[in-house]
Structures are given as C-alpha cells and as structure tokens.
Amino acid sequence: MTDGRELCRQLCAEDQIRPACARLLVRSTHVPKCPSDGKCPERSPTSSDAGLNRKRNLTAFRRLKFADIVRAVPRAHPADLAVSAGVIAIVLAARAASAKIPGLLIAVIAAIIVSREADLARHGVAVLGPIPRGLPHLGLPALGWHDAAALAGTAVSLFVVILAQSAATSRAYAGKYEEAFSQDTDLVGLGAANVAAALSGTFVVNGSPTQTQVADSAGARSQLAQLTTSAVVLIVLLLLTGPLASLPISALAAIVFLIAIGLIDIAGMRRILACRRDEFTIALLTTAAVVIFGVEVGLALAVAASIIDHLRHTYRPLSSLLVKSPAGHWQLAPVRPGARSEEGLAVYRFGTSLYYANAAHLIDDVTALAAQGSPLRWLVLDAAAIGDIDYTAAGVLTRTIGHLRKRHIRFAFSSVLRPVRQQLDRYGISAALDRPPTTTPPARPLRPSTPRKGPSPSKPAHARQHSRQEHTLAAITIRVPSTGVPGHASGIRRAGTAG
C-alpha cells in the first residue's frame, strides 16, 4: 500500500489535483493520514490506489487550458502523438466509409489491443490503469465541516456548469429534431442522478454535449439508448474492467477532440453574424474565454455579456406614436417633439417594460410631446408592450401624471395587461387617475357677442371636433382597428383620466 504522507505531498507538488482535494483522496485509500501542514486540507473518499491514479489523470486532463496545452507541446511524447493520430485516422476513415460503422468503438478497441501488445505503459504512454471491478458501495460520504468549506467553491462552479451545459445541450438537440422538452424535468433527473453519484462515490452527472453527440451520431433517438448504455456499462464493470486498464489517455483525448470539433457550428455562427452582430460578438468572447481561461470563466463572461446586451436594448426602447395613415389606418411613427395622433391627442406606445433604467426615457418622450406643438388635451399611454413596472418606474410615472395634471392634460392607459393593471392598483396610480381634478382650468376670456338675426350659430368645426373627441375618450378613449397596428387590441380601453 502506498504511503499516505508521500502520496499527499506528491499530489500537492504536481498540482494535478487542488491541494484541498489531496488529503480527501488519500483518506479514501485507508492509508496513514497526510501531515496537517496547512497545504493539504482534508477532503472526501474514493475507493483504492488504482481509482486514485485514474482520477488524478482524468482531473488533470479536464483542467487543461489553452495556455497549458501550448506550454506542454514541446514536451509531447511521440508515442502519445502516434496513438492519437491513429485513433483520429480510424474514426475519420470509418465516417468516410459509412455513417453506420462505429468508428469510435473500433478506435478504442484498437488502442487497447495495441497498448497491451506493445506494452505502451512501459514506453511512457499514460493509460487508465487498474479499474476496480464490481458495483460501487453505497453510503454517505465521509464529509466534515472543514471538507465542506474547502469544496464549496468547486461545488458552486460544478453546479453552474452542469446547469448551463445541460440546458444548452437539451435545447440544441430538441431544436435540431423539432421536439419539445421540459427543462424542469431534465433538472430533476440531473439532481436525482447526482444524489446517487454522491452516495456511490462516482463522478458528478452532467448533460454532456460530447456524449450526447456520440449517442446522436450512433442513431440514438429514444430512452432505449440510455437503457442499453446502462446495461453495457454494468457488463463492463462486472467482467471487462481488466482490458480498460490498458486504454491510453491519448486515445480518449483524440476521441474528445473529434467530438468537440463536430460540435462547432460554423454555419450557425455565420447566420448569427448576418443577423445579430452583437450576439456574434458575445459568442466569440465566450469561445475565447472557454479556450483560454476555462469553462467557469467563459460561462461567467457569457452571462455578464448577455445581461449587458439585454440592458442595452431595454435602456433605449423602441417607443412610437400611433398616427393615422392617409388611408385611415393606424400605424406606428417615431416620437417627435410636438407630434400628435389627432388634433389634441397623442397615443404614445412605450416599447418595453418600465424599470428604473429606462424610466427617464419615458419622461423625455412625454415632455417632448407635451411641451411643443399644438395644445395637447389627452395623452394616452399604450401599454401593450409593457409587461412589468418596477417601484422606481412607478414613482416616475406618478410624477409624470402629476406634471400633466398641472398642465391640464388628461392622461389615460390603453391595452393594459392584467398583471400590469394589478401593479398600477397596488402603486395607487389607478386611484390617482380616477380622482377629479384638484384645480380649475382657467376660464376662457369672454368675447363680445354681436347680435345676429336668424337661428343661433352653431359651434365652429374645430370646437365640435374637440367636444366629440373628449366625449369619446371619456367613454372608451379611442377605437383603433386591429389591422392597423400589429398585436394591438381591437380598441383602446380607458383605464382612467387625470386632469
């Protein structure tokens, strides 16, 4: 049995496993404890020295980044390069001959045979090494508070990577075959599988895009493929672990490389570039970050860049004014100072949800509409595109209504969604709209009347128009044909008036 002190020091010195993980792995082999010198905090268990060596190799391989690969190129072993080249050649030849030929399986079997016959391990080729036979033992992991603190950062990183990678893989293949999928169901399955992994001391379970690509290329289209894979793994664990010990790590690396190359969607990137240059930039930054810094950094950068891009769009929403076309249909027009939908009326559509960052844009547009042009009697806020109003924006909206009230401009909502209407009720905006005016508009100057013979003169045409318009607004605000404005309701209903 390997000496625990020496094994722990070796793990820490090689930096193939985090120092915080070294003592945990040593404890699992039931060897003497690692010296508690502060460099190797305690951690959790595995199964044997053979399993420890295998995990060390795989962990080191998975933690490789682009800079590590570049630095390691001069030290590349010729035999490893030859094994990788042979595996790649077999897989590509099988693909060229027929898609039904299992090139990956043939390459793995060939690599195992060559490794055993030529004894590649003695020539410096890294192999998997002995793999414990049989089923894993079930039980709670030997995890203490100190171990939990040391593992917290890694656990959070794994959680984020598994969540994002699994969801992206499910969404991509569901879209490829035009099938519906439930992300909640996938996450419940992943959670249950990881609980089983914790109780059996195995690796974390993830919706791997590489393994999904292998199954997809082999024609797997149902759960039968997963059941078949489970049966094959069970047979290998019980009967065929011996041959796997001779499998070169370089053969696995070549297989992963080929699968990863197949996942690169050049045509999709070109479509993104043609349609959305900002999203193409995010995709390039994410790819570069994953290659250079690793998955965790790349994922964090992708999330941050996507949030910034979303805020950029909602910060300057595409607001518009509803106006009538020469044919009499309602259509959207840019918001310009003093613009009117009708004489004395402006129907203003805000292009997205109202929140603290874009509330100032609402103030700017309303000020531009009310401060210039012909006298404005009604300002209608078309809320068809507003899905939410946060607390800060509600305060801004309340002050805007008060400002319009002081200028004797009536205010109304139209096309308000039910959740937004409930928010307006909670914020007190609906009640403010229903209150009668607190000030009396200034009286119009009296004009001397000139006696005229005959019947009393009727009101001028523009006065009759204003009177009819105010009466219509008091009832239903204004009728807007649904054909004129895409996605608009058949009419603008009055939510209340101010002024």
Average confidence (pLDDT) over 470-499: 38
Max mean pLDDT among 38-42, 199-203, 334-338 falls in 334-338
Query: Could you tell me where the beta strands, DSSP code E, fall in 392-494?
Result: 410-414
Average confidence (pLDDT) over 225-251: 87
Cα four-point dihedral sign 108, 113, 118, 123: positive
Q: Is the per-residue pLDDT at 167 higher than 80?
A: yes
* Per-residue confidence band for 417, with pLDDT thresholds at 50, 70 and 90: very high
Average confidence (pLDDT) over 129-136: 83
Angle between helices 19-28 and 4-14 (to 10 degrees): 150
Distances (CA, A) of 273 to 269, 288, 314, 420, 428: 6, 16, 21, 36, 46
Average pLDDT, the chain: 76
Cα four-point dihedral sign 142, 146, 147, 148: positive
Rounded to whole angstroms, the Cα distance separating 324 from 387 reads 26
* Per-residue confidence band for 319, with pLDDT thresholds at 50, 70 and 90: very high
355-388 pLDDT, tens digit per residue, is 999 999 999 999 999 988 899 999 999 999 999 9
150-166 pLDDT, tens digit per residue, is 888 888 878 887 887 88
Q: Is the per-residue pLDDT at 426 higher than 60?
A: yes
pLDDT of residue 88: 93
Q: Is the per-residue pLDDT at 336 higher than 80?
A: yes
Backbone phi, then psi, for 414, in 5-degree steps?
-145, 155
Residue type, position 449, single letter: S
Which residues of the chain does CATH 3.30.750.24 include? 320-440+461-476
**β-strands 330-333, 320-324 pairing:** antiparallel
Rounded to whole angstroms, the Cα distance separating 55 from 344 reads 76
Query: Residue 179: CA atoms inside 13 Å, Cβ hemisphere, count?
Result: 12
Exposure string (b/e) for 40-68, b if CB count within 10 Å is 16 or more?
bbbbbbbbebbbbbbbbbeebeeeeeeee
114-118: Cβ within 8 A, 24+ apart: 114/83, 114/86, 115/83, 115/246, 115/247, 115/248, 116/243, 116/246
* Of 12, 28, 10, the residue nearest 20 (C-alpha): 12
Spatial strand order in the sheet of 330-333:
330-333, 320-324, 345-349, 378-382, 410-414
Exposure string (b/e) for 216-251, b if CB count within 10 Å is 16 or more?
beeeeeeeeeeeeeeeeeeeebeeebebbbbbbbbb
440-466 pLDDT, tens digit per residue, is 444 444 344 444 444 444 445 444 444
SS3 at position 298: helix
pLDDT of residue 437: 55
Distances (CA, A) of 94 to 57, 84, 88, 256, 388: 29, 16, 10, 16, 55
Secondary-structure breakdown of the chain: helix, strand, coil percentages, each rounded to the nearest 5: 60, 5, 35
Q: Is the per-residue pLDDT at 341 higher than 70?
A: yes
Q: Angle 69-16-169 (CA atoms, 0-180°, nearest 5)?
A: 65
- Compare 438 and 219 and report the one with higher pLDDT: 219
Domain range 320-440+461-476, CATH class: alpha beta
Residue type, position 337, single letter: P
Cβ atoms 484, 492 nearer than 8 A: no
Rounded to whole angstroms, the Cα distance separating 49 from 201 reads 14
Going by the DSSP 8-state scheme, the letter that residue 436 receives in this structure is: P
Full-model pTM: 0.58
Average confidence (pLDDT) over 206-227: 80
Query: Residue 111: CA atoms inside 13 Å, Cβ hemisphere, count?
Result: 36
pLDDT of residue 396: 93
Rounded to whole angstroms, the Cα distance separating 60 from 161 reads 18
